[in-house]
Amino acid sequence: MSRPLVALALAALVVTGLAPLAVMLLRIEGADLAGIFDARTASLLGRTLLLGIGTAAMALLVGLPFGFLVARTDVPGAGVLRALGVAPLFFPPLILAMTWCVLLPAFRGAPAAIFVLGLSTFPLVAVFSARAFERVDAAQEEAALLCGGLRAVLRMELPLALPAALCGTCLAFAFAVNDFGVPDYVSSVGVKFNVYADEIKFNWSQIRRPGKPVATALPLIVLTLGALVPALALRRRGALATLGHGFRQPGTLKLGAWRWPAFAFAAAVVLLAAGVPVLRLLWEAANMPAHVRDADASPGAKLALGWSTLREAFGLAFEKARADLRRSLLYAAAAAAACAPLGLVLGHAIERARSRAAGRALELACLLPLAAPAILFGIGIITLWNHDATARFYDSGWMAVVLLAGRFAVFPILICAGAAASFDRALEDAATLSGARPARRLGAIVAPALRGSLVAGFVLVFVFAMRDLDSAILVPAMNKTAIFRVFNGVHFGRDSYVAALSLVLLFAVVTPGLLWTLFARKRLEVLP
Amino acid sequence: MSDAVRMRGVAVHAGGERLLGPLDLDVAEGEHLLLVGPSGSGKTTLLRAIAGLAPTSAGTVELFGEPAGPPEKRGIGFLFQGGALWPHMSVAGTLRFTLRSSGVGAGDVPARIAELLEQVELTGFDARMPATLSGGEKQRLALARALAVRPRLLLLDEPLGPLDAELRAALLERLGALHRELGCTTIHVTHDPEEASRIATRTLHLRGGRLANGESKA
C-alpha cells in the first residue's frame, strides 16, 4: 500500500465527496432540528420507508429467482435473458416511470413508484444472486442432488445465495429511499405521494435556509446507512466470497417440466422492465398513437407515417439536444475516468489496511456520499462551491465532473476492494521481495489483475452519471445535460421528440458496456 | 444374484474430448472394488457416470438389474474427493438435511443422526461447523452423509486423500468395518495401489479412460 498515493486519493475523496456533506452538516442550527421529530416528518418517513421496503421486497422476489434461472438452469435463452436483465439498471428510472404512467394512466402514487423502482433495481439482486449461485462448488451441489434431486439442491443453495441477494436488496432499498424523480413524476397527476427527497428539495428551494434541508435529511441518512452498512457486512461475511482451492464450476441444472414456465417468468420480467419501455418510447417517437387514430389511413400508410415521424423526431432530438448529449457524455466519461484510479488505490487500501478498523472506517467514509440523499449532495456542492472566488469553476463543466465523481466514486472503490480481497496476496509479496515499491506493485501487479474490475467500475460510474438527475437538478452546471432536458421535456409537454431523445439517451448510456462486451476478451467484473 | 453395477460400452465425452471409455464393467453385490489409476485416468468420471452426475455419451448403466434412473433415485452414497461438505450447515444439520431430503420422516431423524455419528465415531460433534473440524473429522462426516441415504452402492472418491498416515490407517479400518457391517457394494477410487488393497475384494486399473488388462483379485 503506497501511503502517498492513498493520501492523494483520500484528499480527492474528501474534496469531491465528503466536503459537500461536511459543509452542510456545519450549517445546521438548533431551530433546524426542531422540525425533524414532528408529525409531518414522521409521516414522510413512513411513506419513504414504505417506498424502500416495497421496492426492496419486489427487487428480492423478482431478482432472486431471475438470477438463479438465468445463471444456473437450462431455461431457454438464459444467456440473452441474463444480459437483457441487467438493462433496466442502466435505464434512467424517470424514463421507466414515464412509459409505465402512459401505459397505465390510473396507476399512480405509492404502488406505481414501488413498481417502477422495483423494476429498476431488481437487476442488483439478480446480478448478486446469479454470481452467488455460480459460486457453489459442483461437488457440494452434487451431494445434495444425490440425496434429494433439484428440490434438495435448491434447499441447500438458498442459504448460500441469500446473503448476496440480501446485499443487493439493501442497495435497492438505499436507491429507492433516496429517489426523487420517480415519486415526483408518478405524483404529478392524481394521488400525491410525497417522500423525503421531495421535502428536502422543497426546504431548499422554498425556504433557502441551508441547515433546514440537512436537518430534514438526517433521518433519511440514518435510514440509508441502516441499509448500506448491513450490505457491506454481508459482503464481508462472504456474500460475495472468494473461492477455495479445488473449486469446480457447477453444471447446468435441468428444470424438466418447469423449463418453459421458468422461461415465461424470466422473459416476462425482461419484457416488463426493458422491452415495454423501449417499445413504448419507439411507439411514441413515431407518434403512432396519433397515426393509429387516423381512420382514413391504411395500416401501411400509418406505418409509413410513423417511420417518417420517427426519423424526424430523431433528427430533431439530435439537432436540439446534440450539445446537451455531448456534455452528458463528456461529464460522465471524465467522472468515470477520474474514479477508476481512485477505486484502485482506495479499494486496495480498504482490503490491505494494517488494522481491520481502519479498513472499515475507510469503507464507510467512501460510502457516505452515496448514503446521503442525492438532492442533499447537490445542495452541498452548491453551498461549498458557489462563492465569488470559485464562481468560474462553479459555472464550468468541471463542477459537473467533480459532483459526479464525488457521488459515484464508491462504485469502483467497492468493486476494486472486492477484487483485491480475491487477489492472491502472495503475488504482491513476491513483488515486494523482488524490491518493487508499493506504487509499482499497485501499478504493475495489482492493476493488471484487476483490469476487468476497473473497467466495470468505469462503466458503472459512467452509467450512473449519465442517468443521474437527483443530485444534478439544482446545480446549474448540470442543467444542460441530456437527462435534464428529458426531465424538462416530460414536464412541459411530451411529444415524439422527448421519446426520441429518451431513446438516444438510453443508447448513449448502454454504449460503453455494450462495446466492452462485444469487443473485449475480458468480461466486466463487477463482483469478485 | 444380479450385479450391483453393469456397464456396457459406456463413454463420457466433454467439450469434444473423450474422458472415459468405451468400457464394460461388472461389480457383484457386496463386492469392495478398488479402482486404481493415475491422475486424469478417468476414475472420478467413472464414479460420476455410475452416480448419474456425468452424462454418458454412449452405452448403458444398470444398477441391481435395473436401468439406472435419475441420480437421486439410484440409492447411491457418494463420498466426494475433498468432502464437499456444505459450509453453512453444522454436523447434525448436514445429516438432518440429507435424511429429510432422502425421505426419512422427521420423527426418525434424531435417532438416525445419533446412529450415523456413532458409526463414524463423531458422537458429540452435532453442533460443530465443518470449518472447525479436522481433516479426518471432515472425511468421517462426509462418510456419514454418504451412509445416511442407506446406500446399496457406496462410491468413495479418494477418501483418504487429504489425510496423514495415522488418520488414513484409522479411516481405512473404519471403512473396512462398515463394509463388513452394512454389506453394501463399494467402489473405492484411489491413485495409490497400496491404499486399500487389504480391504478390497478386487482391484482394477484404469488408464486413459479405459480399464487396463491385468485385473487382480484379492
The answer to whether the Cβ–Cβ distance between B145 and A143 falls below 8 Å is: yes
Q: Which domains does chain A have, with CATH numbers?
A: 1-34+322-528 (1.10.3720.10), 38-285 (1.10.3720.10)
Q: Does B76 touch chain A (CB under 8 A)?
A: yes
Confidence of residue B47 (pLDDT cuts 50, 70, 90): very high
User: Could you tell me which chain A residue has the CA closest to the CA of B14?
Assistant: A251
Nearest CB to A139; choose among B80, B88, B89: B80
What value does the mean pLDDT take over residues B181-198?
83
* % of chain A with per-residue pLDDT over 90: 22
User: Could you tell me which chain B residue has the CA closest to the CA of A136?
Assistant: B86
The answer to whether the Cβ–Cβ distance between A148 and B101 falls below 8 Å is: yes
What value does the mean pLDDT take over residues A497-503?
86
* % of chain A with per-residue pLDDT over 70: 92
The answer to whether the Cβ–Cβ distance between B82 and A139 falls below 8 Å is: yes
Report how far residue A308's alpha carbon sits from residue A274's, in angstroms, rounded to the nearest whole number. Answer: 25
Report how far residue B115's alpha carbon sits from residue B111's, in angstroms, rounded to the nearest whole number. Answer: 6
Report how far residue A290's alpha carbon sits from residue A292's, in angstroms, rounded to the nearest whole number. Answer: 5
Name the range with the highest mean pLDDT among A118-122, A149-153, A189-193, B14-18. A118-122
- Return the pLDDT at B217: 43
* Cβ–Cβ < 8 Å for A444, A436: yes
A203-253 pLDDT per residue, tens: 776 656 667 777 777 888 888 888 888 877 776 665 444 455 567 778 888
Nearest CB to A137; choose among B70, B71, B84: B84
- Return the pLDDT at B213: 60
Q: Which position has the grid cell 433495481?
A: A121
Q: Which residues of A touch B77 (CB under 8 A)?
A: 146
Q: Which residues of A touch B98 (CB under 8 A)?
A: 147-148
> What is the interface size between A and B, counted as CB pairs within 8 Å?
67
Q: What interface predicted TM-score (ipTM) does this complex get? A: 0.71
Q: What is the CA radius of gyration of chain B?
A: 17
The answer to whether the Cβ–Cβ distance between A139 and B76 falls below 8 Å is: no
Name the range with the highest mean pLDDT among A128-142, A214-228, A323-337, B163-177. A323-337
Query: Over 90: is that where the pLDDT of A383 sits?
Result: no
Q: Does B148 touch chain A (CB under 8 A)?
A: yes
Q: Which residues of B touch A143 (CB under 8 A)?
A: 78, 80, 84, 86, 145
What value does the mean pLDDT take over residues A460-468?
88
Q: Does B72 touch chain A (CB under 8 A)?
A: yes
Short-list B63, B47, B58, B46, CA closest to B10: B58
- Return the pLDDT at A299: 82
Query: Over 80: is that where the pLDDT of B216 sits?
Result: no
Q: Which residues of B touch A132 (CB under 8 A)?
A: none
- Return the pLDDT at A53: 94
Q: Does B82 touch chain A (CB under 8 A)?
A: yes
What value does the mean pLDDT take over residues A364-372?
85
User: Could you tell me which chain B residue has the CA closest to the CA of A138?
Assistant: B84
Is the bond into B55 cis (omega within 30 degrees of 0)?
A: no
User: Could you tell me which chain A residue has the CA closest to the CA of B84?
Assistant: A140
Could you write out the DSSP letters of every residue in A24-78?
HHTT--HHHHHGGGSHHHHHHHHHHHHHHHHHHHHHHHHHHHHHHHHHHB--TTH
Neighbours of A23 (CB within 10 A): 18
Q: Does B85 touch chain A (CB under 8 A)?
A: yes
* Cβ–Cβ < 8 Å for A117, A93: yes
A59-71 pLDDT per residue, tens: 999 999 999 999 8
User: Could you tell me which chain A residue has the CA closest to the CA of B79?
Assistant: A143
* Cβ–Cβ < 8 Å for A131, A159: no
CA distance, residue B40 to nearest chain A CA (Å):
15
User: How many helices and strands in chain B, by DSSP H and E?
Assistant: 5, 11
CA distance, residue A428 to nearest chain B CA (Å):
27
Q: Does B150 touch chain A (CB under 8 A)?
A: no
Residues 6+ apart with CB under 8 A from A245: none
| A233-247, A422-436, A473-487, B189-203: least confident range | A233-247
- Return the pLDDT at A62: 96
Angle at A243 between CA A240 and CA A244, to 5 degrees: 145
Confidence of residue A513 (pLDDT cuts 50, 70, 90): confident
> Mutate which of B44, B53, B85, B152 to disrupt the A interface (most A C-beta within 10 Å)?
B53
- Return the pLDDT at A265: 96
> Mutate which of A146, A150, A160 to disrupt the B interface (most B C-beta within 10 Å)?
A146
Q: Which residues of B touch A159 (CB under 8 A)?
A: 88
A32-52 pLDDT per residue, tens: 777 677 777 788 888 888 999
* Cβ–Cβ < 8 Å for A403, A381: yes
Confidence of residue B218 (pLDDT cuts 50, 70, 90): very low
The enclosing H or E element of A291 equals helix A288-293
CA distance, residue B84 to nearest chain A CA (Å):
5
Nearest CB to A143; choose among B48, B80, B87: B80
Residues 6+ apart with CB under 8 A from A364: A229, A232
Q: Which three cell numbers stand for residue A322?
A: 446534440
Q: Does B84 touch chain A (CB under 8 A)?
A: yes
Residue A204 DSSP label: I
Q: Which three cell numbers stand for residue A311?
A: 426519423
Neighbours of A223 (CB within 10 A): 22
User: Could you tell me which chain A residue has the CA closest to the CA of B103?
Assistant: A148
CA distance, residue A508 to nearest chain B CA (Å):
38
Q: Which three cell numbers stand for residue A500?
A: 426520441
Phi/psi zone of residue A483: left (φ > 0), alpha (ψ -120 to 50 degrees), beta? alpha
The answer to whether the Cβ–Cβ distance between B71 and A155 falls below 8 Å is: no
Q: Classify strands B58-63 and B185-190 as parallel, antiparallel or unpaired.
A: unpaired
| A187-201, A317-331, A461-475: least confident range | A187-201
> Mutate which of A147, A155, A156, A245 to disrupt the B interface (most B C-beta within 10 Å)?
A147
What value does the mean pLDDT take over residues A278-290?
86
Nearest CB to B72; choose among A147, A160, A246: A147
Nearest CB to A143; choose among B78, B88, B100: B78
- Return the pLDDT at A70: 92
- Return the pLDDT at B92: 95
Q: What is the mean pLDDT of chain A?
A: 84
